[in-house]
Structure 1
Amino acid sequence: MTVKHATFTLERGYPVPPERVFAAWADPAAKARWFVPAGTHTLDFRVGGTETVGATGPDDTKLSVTSTYHDIVPDRRIVYATTLSGDEVLATVSITTVELEADGGGTRLVLTEQGTFLDGAEEPQWREQGTGDWLDRLGEALK
């Protein structure tokens, strides 16, 4: 039984104002387009609300992700806690903070995630890569 702890921070610049970036995160249909390219998705975007994702991993593992929103400041900040399970076995528990800041005519997004990775089911670098990929898809969706 192993436990790894890791924190990473990713930054992105988007050529739209923070209100547009926030809206892409808050609207269930918009978020599903960039966040979940394949699988199921639900979003109740409010403090205390949850988001779920169901997908299949590369080795046919059934992936289940559940996030609970703890802090939402419109157009500025989102804080949520997430569990990820593979075949109903808990793999990670994390807390994520997304900060949005006006930057000229665009937005500077800073995402910081602090995670607990259990028994080698997921590695911190995999999570960082996957998070970077969906932030890139968000950028494409905002064009």
Structure 2
Amino acid sequence: MTKRSVHPATIVLERAYEASPERVFAAWSTPEALLRWGSPGDDWEMSYERFEFREGGGDLCRFGPKGGEVYVNETRYFDIVPNERIVSAGSMSSAGKRLFAGMLTVEFHPSGSGCRMVMTEQGVFLDGYDRPENHEAGWNHMLDQLGDELKRGRAAA
């Protein structure tokens, strides 16, 4: 029998972007924008089977390195305040194993002419299949790519 375990962790990342909260929020609200910046690794592939960005809606995303393991992320949106916050919960699995379950909160705060974004992921890493360090590295990569998208003026769909 497989030994079961849970490893709870909280990851908090902040970014200051030279873009309005409206533009940063917009980058989280469409699959077209998320596909441009939301991949956790270079040369990874990503696709959405479903995307319903509304309270009570959800999405189903598949992603992973080209030719490698495929991860499935399921998300449900619980609270969306345009240009201020997004609260969602989700889980990630691969090869039929649940790796992670958690809650994600993204806050958008005006800061001068830009936006200070605070992203908090509170989750449990299940049965040793994933680690907080992996999520933190992936989120850092994605948020850096978001900054590049905003600089190019492409973050909104």
TM-score by length of 1: 0.94
Corresponding position of 1:109: 117
Aligned to 1:26, the other structure's residue is in SS state: coil
Instruction: Answer whether contact 2:108 2:118 (CA < 8 A) is retained.
Output: yes
Percentage identity across aligned positions?
40
Quote the Cα distance in structure 1 between the aligned partners of 2:99 and 2:68.
16
Corresponding position of 1:14: 17
Instruction: Answer whether contact 1:22 1:75 (CA < 8 A) is retained.
Output: yes
Please say if 1:64 is aligned against 2:72. yes
Aligned to 1:112, the other structure's residue is in SS state: strand
Quote the Cα distance in structure 2 between the aligned partners of 1:35 and 1:23.
13
List alignment gaps of at least 5 residues for structure 1: none
Quote the Cα distance in structure 2 between the aligned partners of 1:65 and 1:98.
17
List alignment gaps of at least 5 residues for structure 2: 152-157
The alpha carbon displacement at 1:59 in A equals 8.3
Alignment of 1:1-143 (within 5 A): 1-36=4-39, 38-41=45-48, 42-57=50-65, 60-143=68-151
Residues 111-132 of structure 1 show CA distances to partners (whole Å, capped at 9, x for unaligned) of 0110110011100111111111
Quote the Cα distance in structure 1 between the aligned partners of 2:34 and 2:65.
20
Quote the Cα distance in structure 1 between the aligned partners of 2:112 and 2:47.
36
